[in-house]
């Protein structure tokens, strides 16, 4: 019954006109869009600076054999140095996430404001079940479509998994990709961006645009469609339940299923 209620709410919110945030200040909520975009751009600059400073150190130390420009996966810089170890990925990624979280914090500063109330950072006991069904289901569906057309979309993820040497490395990689990344990205793209857009336009438009942006910032053309569908899934959950808990759990399960699947291959 709860799931039917969520579907009903989602349908209603997709067709609803622009809705101010919980504090009923449209200008402040609409500013979240600018904060999300600005925070993401700032995080990329921070990541580039960290790489320029730390990258040569890994090469000199013999932990990387050369430098090769990489792409991104789940919004983290990957394969920036050929053969770079997992610790390098963490060193580059943590400042990037910290910058994005600073943008989230900036958007919710002020007396009586909080991530819980403004961005819907709330959870319930049913969230893991809903998240597993939607996250794993989306991953399986996307994988099946890519396989049907003979497209190998696992290359970037496979490159990342290879950095997790042994159980310690895999656990560290799991924490980075299946725990930290989903939380930060949901706060940014379904917290600031989706809610900010929903304060300016109908729900369906906010969902489509935020999902397209989410897919685009990963800079992976082959995976764009899959990431767009994932964004629609996470965003749809955020709209249906009015909070981020189900979206975060779905994102966790989506990423975790990829890590576990590729780790066994």
Q: For 193-216, what is each residue's pLDDT tens digit? A: 999 999 889 999 999 999 999 999
Q: Has this prediction a pTM greater than 0.85?
A: no
Between CA 156 and CA 54 the distance in angstroms is 22
Asked if residue 48 has pLDDT above 90, the reply is no
Count of domains forming the chain:
1
Q: What are phi and psi of 81, to 5 degrees?
A: -120, 135
Asked if residue 79 has pLDDT above 80, the reply is no
Asked if residue 97 has pLDDT above 90, the reply is yes
Pick the more confident residue, 185 or 167: 185
User: With bands split at pLDDT 50, 70 and 90, how would you rate the model's confidence at 220?
Assistant: confident
3-state DSSP percent of the chain in helix, strand and coil, to 5: 70, 5, 25
Between CA 60 and CA 56 the distance in angstroms is 6
User: With bands split at pLDDT 50, 70 and 90, how would you rate the model's confidence at 28?
Assistant: low
Domain ranges, residue 173: 2-264
Between CA 124 and CA 248 the distance in angstroms is 12
Considering the chain, what is the average pLDDT of its residues?
Answer: 80
Asked if residue 45 has pLDDT above 50, the reply is yes
Between CA 173 and CA 112 the distance in angstroms is 36
User: With bands split at pLDDT 50, 70 and 90, how would you rate the model's confidence at 52?
Assistant: confident
Percent of the chain with pLDDT over 70: 68
Work out the average pLDDT over 24-43: 78
Burial class (CB in 10 A: 0-12, 13-18, 19+), 18: middle
Rounded (10°) CA dihedral 160, 161, 163, 166: 170
Q: What angle do CA 175, 74, 70 make, to 5 degrees?
A: 110
Residue 241 has what pLDDT? 94
């Amino acid at each position: 019954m709860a799931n039917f209620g969520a579907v009903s709410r989602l349908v209603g919110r997709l067709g609803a006109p622009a809705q101010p945030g919980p504090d009923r200040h449209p200008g402040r909520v609409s500013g979240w869009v600018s904060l999300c975009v600005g925070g993401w751009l700032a995080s990329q600059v921070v990541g580039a600076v960290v790489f320029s400073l730390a990258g040569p150190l890994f090469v000199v130390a013999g932990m990387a054999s050369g430098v090769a420009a990489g792409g991104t996966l789940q919004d983290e810089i990957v394969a920036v140095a050929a053969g770079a170890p997992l610790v390098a990925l963490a060193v580059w990624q943590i400042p990037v996430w910290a910058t994005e979280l600073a943008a989230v914090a900036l958007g919710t500063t002020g007396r009586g404001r909080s991530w819980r109330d403004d961005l819907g950072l709330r959870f319930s006991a049913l969230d893991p079940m809903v998240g597993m069904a939607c996250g794993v289901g989306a991953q399986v569906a996307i994988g099946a479509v890519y396989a049907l057309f003979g497209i190998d979309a696992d290359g970037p993820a496979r490159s990342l998994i290879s950095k997790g040497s042994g159980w310690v490395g895999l656990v560290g990689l799991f924490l980075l990709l299946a725990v930290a990344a989903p939380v930060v990205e949901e706060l940014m793209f379904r917290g600031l961006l989706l809610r900010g857009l929903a304060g300016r336009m109908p729900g369906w438009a906010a969902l489509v645009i935020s999902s397209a942006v989410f897919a685009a910032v990963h800079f992976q053309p082959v995976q764009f469609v899959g990431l767009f569908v994932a964004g629609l899934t996470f965003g749809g959950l955020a709209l249906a339940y009015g909070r981020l808990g189900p979206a975060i759990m779905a994102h966790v399960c989506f990423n975790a299923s990829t890590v576990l699947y590729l780790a066994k291959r």
